[in-house]
Structure 1
Amino acid sequence: MRRQDVRMVRVYLTEGQHLMRELVELLHDRERVRGVTVFRGIAGFGSSGALHTTSLVDLSLDLPLVLEFFDTPERVEQVLATLEEYVEPGHIVVWPAQATID
């Protein structure tokens, strides 16, 4: 196996924005990135300071979501231009990483 330089991308959303499905389909069908994972948070807050949380008694429909993917640095730069049309500034984080490939 060898290593390849990649860029990790993390997009912070909430369920209430109703963007998750649209972004996953965009990244799969149009942008064709290597893969996408969406994490559903049990609690979180953003710049507004409003706490979004859930418990067994209270099931919130506005929990935090984190959409994450990686690809080559060049591909990520192309995809970011599209993502920035959907996501508010400050809600996309990018960092360098390495992936093992065959």
Structure 2
Amino acid sequence: MATASVRIVRIYLREGEHLLSKLLKFLHEEEKVAGVTVLRGIAGFSTDGKIHTASLVDLSLDLPLIVEFYDRPDRIEAVMDKLTHRLVLAHVVSWDATVHVSP
């Protein structure tokens, strides 16, 4: 099995920020990164200290979202340069990883 070096980026959002569709369009249509996954949390909080949670009585959902994507490290660097000029993203983390690819 072959391996390749990649960089993974994880962006933390909230549904109420309404950034998901813009972010996905940018990553998919404009930058064509290797892979993207969006996760929807059931609870979370950030530096503002306000807990965002799903409950039956809460009809206006503002749940946490995680957008995670990967590509070659040089591609990710270029993507992040463009992305940070387009959108205000408060919580972004990244790390290097190895992808295992089948022949």
Residue ranges of structure 2 left out of the alignment (5+ in a row):
none
CA distance in 2, matches of 1:92, 1:8: 11
> Residue 34 of structure 2 corresponds to which residue in structure 1?
34
CA distance in 1, matches of 2:60, 2:83: 26
Identity of aligned residues (%): 52
CA distance in 2, matches of 1:47, 1:40: 19
The count of residues paired between Structure 1 and Structure 2 equals 101
- TM-aligned CA deviation for residue 60 of structure 1: 4.1
RMSD: 1.2
Runs (4+) off by over 4 Å: none
Once the two structures are overlaid, the 10-residue window that deviates more, 79-88 or 63-72, is 79-88
CA distance in 1, matches of 2:11, 2:88: 8
SS at match of 2:47: coil
Quick check: 1:52–1:60 contact (8 Å CA) kept in 2? no
> Residue 58 of structure 1 corresponds to which residue in structure 2?
58
Give yes or no for the alignment of 1:88 onto 2:89: yes
